[in-house]
Amino acid sequence: MRRDEGWRRATPFSFAGIARPLVMGIVNVTDDSFSDGGRFRDPSRAIEHALELAAEGADLVDVGGESTRPGAAPVPADEELRRILPVIEALAREGIAVSVDTMKAAVMRAAIAAGCAVVNDVNAFLATGAVEAVAGADVGLVVMHMQGTPRTMQQAPKYGDVAAEVGAFLRERATALETAGVAHERIALDPGFGFGKTLEHNRALFHALPALAAMGYPLVAGVSRKKMIGELTGRAVGERSAGSVAAALLAAQNGASLVRVHDVRETVDALNVWMELR
């Protein structure tokens, strides 16, 4: 199936006009990511893997140099850049749309200069200088909700009404970015599955996806191989592909415009079948 690409050629970057759910393939240039930690630590292996994901149909490749798994230790900016810059530069040269998965303003600036198309921040551009780093650039922004920090977020997540609180937070962050000069079309929102959330919180957010989508921004859903898939299937991390594909399909059905996944080929096939037969 021909996969339309008009959405990513726009300058400045725009999420407007996404006609089908897009697939973000995950490349973790880390030692300690929960699913693929250590496998792509060497930049040349990360580049090779990213090229494979692009060939399998990833619309965007999400490159990260710092794990955000529960309990993960922070990585200094210079080390994060050492890991990811060669990868971003190589992929940008190949014409592959890259998003950078980072919480740090300095890393955002360098990644933008290296050619990334999207900045994906699990910390919703709350770090000092983050809004300023991206506001004047031509890149798309993924704004994610997290309760707490990766080190502590799964210890005792608590909400009154998780969907309402996540929705209000995302709306407030989108408004802050727009006030700083970011065009509405550059913003996508992500409820942050597993980031300070129990299985029941994640379930409530799945049900709330249509209401979150009605806020008028494209939604990103990242559930691939996460603990919630393990809890629902009883499977170890390396055996969660089928469960993850099912969750990605349901997220798309509930209004997600982008799904962030490890298993690109399987997800692309499933989405193509779903789109033809729904």
Residue among 109, 226, 227, 240 flagged as catalytic: 226
From the list 104, 186, 197, 260, the catalytic residue is 260
CA distances from 103 to 56, 127, 143, 214, 275 (A): 28, 7, 11, 26, 34
Residue with smaller CB distance to ligand HH2, 29 or 278? 29
Task: Between 220 and 252, name the residue whose CB sits nearer to ligand HH2.
Answer: 220
Q: How many residues bind ligand HH2 (CB under 6 A)?
A: 21
- What would you report as the CA-atom Rg of the chain, rounded to the nearest whole angstrom? 17
Q: Site for ligand HH2 (CB under 6 A): which residue of 111, 117, 133, 142?
A: 142
Q: Distance between CA atoms of 214 and 255, rounded to whole angstroms? A: 9
Residue 260 annotated among the catalytic residues of the structure: yes
E-strand stretches of 184-224? 187-190, 219-221
Q: Distance between CA 126 and CA 104 in Å, rounded? A: 9
- Out of 21, 65, 218, 222, the only residue in the binding site for ligand HH2 (CB under 6 A) is 222
Task: Give yes or no for a contact between 117 and 71, defined as CB atoms under 8 angstroms apart.
Answer: no
Of 257, 182, 273, 181, the C-alpha closest to 222 is 257
**Binding of residue 154 to ligand HH2 (CB under 6 A):** no
- Which listed residue (10, 18, 20, 35) binds ligand HH2 by CB under 6 A? 35
* Closer residue to ligand HH2 in complex, CB, 93/231: 231
Distance CA 51, CA 70 (A): 28
* Beta carbon nearer to ligand HH2, 93 or 238: 238
Taking the alpha carbons at both ends of the chain, their separation in whole angstroms is 16
Contact call for residue 64 and ligand HH2 (CB under 6 A): yes
Residue 27 — φ and ψ, nearest 5°? -125, 110
46 belongs to the binding site for ligand HH2 (CB under 6 A): no
Verify whether residue 226 is a known catalytic residue.
yes
Nearest distance in Å: CB 1, ligand HH2: 25
Name the minimum Å distance from CB 260 to ligand HH2.
5
Contact 21, 1 (CB under 8 A): no
The verdict on 69 binding ligand HH2 (CB under 6 A) reads yes
Q: Which two tokens stand for residue 112?
A: 């933008």
Q: What are phi and psi of 195, to 5 degrees?
A: -95, 85
Taking the least distance from each CB to ligand HH2, the nearer of 35 and 149 is: 35
Position 190 contacts ligand HH2 (CB under 6 A): yes
Q: CA 265 to CA 183: how far, in whole Å?
A: 32
22 is a site residue for ligand HH2 (CB under 6 A): no
Q: Contact residues for ligand HH2 (CB under 6 A)?
A: 26, 28, 30, 33-35, 64, 67-69, 101, 120, 122, 142, 144, 190, 192-193, 220, 222, 260
Residues annotated as catalytic are 226, 260
